[in-house]
Amino acid sequence: MTVEDGPVQRGALLRQVEAELARPWSKIAFGPVVESRYQTAIEPARTRHYILCHLSGMAVFDLFVFVNALIIPDVLVLTIVIDFAVLTPSLLLLVWAMHRRRVPTVVASTIFLFPMLCTMLGLMLASRAQNAVMIAFAIPMVMLYASIALPLPVVHAGIVAAGATILTAAAVALHPGFDLGGGLFAVMLNVSMAGYLLVAAFRNEVSERRFYLLTLRDTLWSERLRARNQRLLSLSDTDGLTGVGNRRSFNARLEGLWRDGAGSASPIALLMIDIDHFKRLNDTYGHLRGDECLRAVAGTVSNTIRGSTGSTFRYGGEEFAVLLAGAEAEQVDRIAERVRSAVEAAVIPLPGGPPDGVGVTVSIGYAAMVPEAGLPHATLISIADAALYKAKQKGRNRVQIGHADFATTLQVA
């Protein structure tokens, strides 16, 4: 069982479930929201179960033709015609309607039992065989089927029990083969069985509903705990200052891409980005202004690569990293230049700094390669880091490509 609602809806539903569990069980039905969920949850399995029960029940009912041949032989032809030409096709049509959801399952199943009851009692009244009255004593089997085998909800089981008892009493009163004692015994047997079976149906439905509530509550709590764990995991993978991924999530992402790329021969690219002269900026405007600068650069980088397969991380201090995979890795030079230009064009303002911004720029070193078996992912970091160092040597605010020779020897162009 899963719950697809959002956190607010799940919280409200959990409170309703707790309230349902705390209330007295003399009232079976739930509140509208929980009742609707309950009926939706159990309907598919209940429909399958009812259909299987009805098909097997019809087979057993049809086999009783052989018993009827011994009990009411004088109406055997009528029994066969009604059973196989009228009743069985009609009930099969009703089962088909249940399967196709043309008729509500519980309603169809309640209706399903009355033709059987009427057929049994009608044949008893039509027969003048000495043992015909024995059919009245078989009626509790229909109530047993409704309350235990299916079982129907207690209200519908009550309808079947009441209907069976009333029809039996009427048949007993009309049949000349019943004396007063035998007739009362048959009626009392039906009444007592109806009472016992309704108690059983009530307890069964209460148990099923309580089990559903407990299962739903466990599911809701599990969803809540899963959501909390995801939030905690997200926090543990996010840099608290800039809101981009931290070093831990960078390592995990790179390891995953490296492993997948080795199996699919898909390229991976890494941009190492360093804010130019950040220490001087930090010393001039203060650490709070420096933090503002870090957040602004992180936001600019993230916004620039948004829509691609890239992910942005704070690698450490004033250094950021961007990972690209697949086709994006083949366009890394264009993406790196776009990032550099975006930061330069942003003219990042700092409170307390010059009104036209401080002219923040970044240097970028990048590398792209297809992972090879046995080659550590740190190789990619080393190549991109060496390229970043070269970009800063060449005057900063530039993009520099890194090269690897035999995947272990660095050769920076």
Q: How does DSSP classify residue 102?
A: S
Judgement on whether residues 46 and 140 belong to the same structural domain of the protein: yes
Residue 202's nearest CA partner among 262, 141, 136, 147 is 147
Average pLDDT, the chain: 87
Judgement on whether residues 189 and 306 belong to the same structural domain of the protein: no
Residue 197 domain-assigned?
A: yes
Residue 299 domain-assigned?
A: yes
Residue 1 domain-assigned?
A: no
- What percent of the chain clears pLDDT 70, i.e. is strictly above it? 92
Task: Write down the pLDDT at residue 358.
Answer: 63
CATH code of the domain covering residue 353: 3.30.70.270
Judgement on whether residues 125 and 253 belong to the same structural domain of the protein: no
pLDDT in tens, 195-227: 999 999 999 999 999 999 999 999 888 888 888
pLDDT at 402 over 60: yes
Judgement on whether residues 256 and 167 belong to the same structural domain of the protein: no
Judgement on whether residues 269 and 320 belong to the same structural domain of the protein: yes
What is the arithmetic mean of pLDDT over 104-128?
92
User: Hey, what are 188's tokens?
Assistant: 């009392």
pLDDT in tens, 59-82: 988 888 888 888 999 999 999 999
Task: Write down the pLDDT at residue 234.
Answer: 61
Query: pTM here?
Result: 0.59
* 300 vs 113: CA distance, rounded Å: 71
pLDDT in tens, 221-277: 888 888 887 777 666 788 889 989 999 899 989 998 988 887 788 889 999 999 998
Model confidence at 410, pLDDT cuts 50, 70, 90, reads: very low
Residue 169's domain spans which residues?
Answer: 7-222
Judgement on whether residues 50 and 12 belong to the same structural domain of the protein: yes
Domain count of the chain? 2
Judgement on whether residues 163 and 260 belong to the same structural domain of the protein: no
Judgement on whether residues 68 and 205 belong to the same structural domain of the protein: yes
Judgement on whether residues 394 and 281 belong to the same structural domain of the protein: yes
Judgement on whether residues 195 and 256 belong to the same structural domain of the protein: no
Give the position of tokens 């209706």.
Answer: 111
Residue 230 domain-assigned?
A: no
Judgement on whether residues 212 and 255 belong to the same structural domain of the protein: no
Between the CA of residue 170 and those of 194, 198, 329, what are the distances in Å? 16, 21, 85
pLDDT in tens, 352-369: 556 555 678 999 999 998
Residue 2 domain-assigned?
A: no
Residue 234 domain-assigned?
A: no
Give the position of tokens 């360093």.
Answer: 274
Q: Which of 159, 188, 222 is the C-terminal boundary of a domain?
A: 222
β 362-369/399-401 pair status: parallel
Task: Write down the pLDDT at residue 65.
Answer: 86
Residue 242 domain-assigned?
A: no
Q: Is 272 helix (H, G, I), strand (E, B) or coil?
A: strand
Task: Write down the pLDDT at residue 409.
Answer: 40
Judgement on whether residues 208 and 301 belong to the same structural domain of the protein: no
Residue 148's nearest CA partner among 161, 137, 138 is 161
Model confidence at 318, pLDDT cuts 50, 70, 90, reads: very high
Residue 232 domain-assigned?
A: no
User: Hey, what are 212's tokens?
Assistant: 């559903």
Model confidence at 313, pLDDT cuts 50, 70, 90, reads: very high
